Amino acid sequence: MNVLSTPLEAVADTPDGATVLIGGFGRAGEPAALLESGAMDLAAGAKQVFVMMNLLTRDGKPKLLNDCTYPLTGPRCVSRVHTDLATFLITGDGVVVRDLHGISFTDLQALLDVPLKELS
């Protein structure tokens, strides 16, 4: 088994079209750790970036926000957000709800400050 020193080493030879998953356990999912790992380079070169997360914090506050509160890894690079309550498409026209998971559109919108659009 190879032991690598940095996350950037782990993805150095990643071919175009590959799927790269970054976990959220320990420091791997922390914004500072992602910046240090070279995730910005990965995000900038990616055709699609999907985020997988819980929609709400432990305190019930939304994580899907109008403005980022952490340093940006890659500005305007996220194309889809998968959460426990819904799947969102991030488009030039706003945030579109692709799928709902056990919640109505109205109840979902009530949890978020981000204006949502229904998939047509």
Q: Is 87 contained in some domain?
A: yes
CA angle at 71 for the pair 119 and 64, rounded to the nearest 5°? 25
Q: How far is 22 from 113, CA to CA, in rounded Å?
A: 27
Mean of pLDDT over the chain: 79
Q: Does 1 map to a domain?
A: no
Per residue in 20-68, pLDDT (tens digit) is 666 554 554 555 555 555 566 666 667 777 888 889 988 999 999 988 7
Residue 93 lies in a domain: yes
- Looking at residue 61, its pLDDT comes to 93
> Residue 72 sits in which domain range?
7-118
What span, in angstroms and rounded, lies between the C-alpha atoms of 37 and 90?
24
Domain count of the chain?
1
| Residue 81 domain flag | yes
What strands lie across the sheet with 86-91, from one edge to the other?
A: 49-52, 78-82, 86-91, 94-100, 116-118
Does residue 37 fall inside a structural domain? yes
Among 83, 57, 107, residue whose Cα is nearest residue 116:
107
pTM of this prediction?
0.73
What local confidence, expressed as pLDDT, does residue 5 receive?
72
What CATH number has the domain bearing residue 85?
Answer: 3.40.1080.10
